[in-house]
Amino acid sequence: MPGLFARPAQKQQSALAHSLGLELDEHNLIEANGGGLTKVYGLFVAGDTSSLAQQVVLAAASGALAAMQINEELVTESFNNFNSIKK
Ligand SMILES: Cc1cc2nc3c(=O)[nH]c(=O)nc-3n(C[C@H](O)[C@H](O)[C@H](O)COP(=O)(O)OP(=O)(O)OC[C@H]3O[C@@H](n4cnc5c(N)ncnc54)[C@H](O)[C@@H]3O)c2cc1C
């Protein structure tokens, strides 16, 4: 029996990324590091919007990783502020 596999091109469904100054790669995905950190300070992404591997479990995991990185950044910021007050 003949079959057909199709892989339609994907695009961002909203202009939000563009309006926030985020860059898209050649797959129309938002560029971010493994923790969802984008090139815009304080802006993190998770899920399909920044990954070619699109599954529910991976989207949830990337949200968890982004949360960890956000927490780390906030703790580092607080620590640096505390140190600057001490001096
Ligand atoms: C047909 C199909 C079948 C799939 N089957 C499977 C499967 O069997 N198993 C599996 O693991 N994965 C499957 N996936 C993939 C899975 O659905 C996604 O990887 C997952 O839902 C990604 O989660 P997300 O939170 O990143 O994005 P989404 O679930 O797409 O959530 C994004 C949300 O943002 C909302 N949104 C968009 N623009 C705006 C805006 N401007 N303002 C406010 N809200 C906005 C959308 O309405 C949506 O609710 C399937 C996907 C498709 C399309």
- How many whole angstroms from 52 Cα to the centroid of ligand 1? 13
Average pLDDT (10-24) is: 91
Q: Between the CA of residue 63 and those of 30, 49, 77, what are the distances in Å? A: 14, 11, 21
Using the structure block, give the residue that is written with the tokens 């923790």: 35
Per-residue pLDDT tens digits for 21-62: 998 999 999 999 999 999 999 999 999 999 999 999 999 999
- How many whole angstroms from 78 Cα to the centroid of ligand 1? 34
What pLDDT is stored for residue 38 in this prediction? 95
Domain ranges of the chain: 21-81
* Phi, then psi, of 65 in degrees rounded to 5: -65, -40
The answer, yes or no, to whether any atom of ligand 1 lies below 6 A from the CB of 10, is no
The answer, yes or no, to whether any atom of ligand 1 lies below 6 A from the CB of 54, is yes
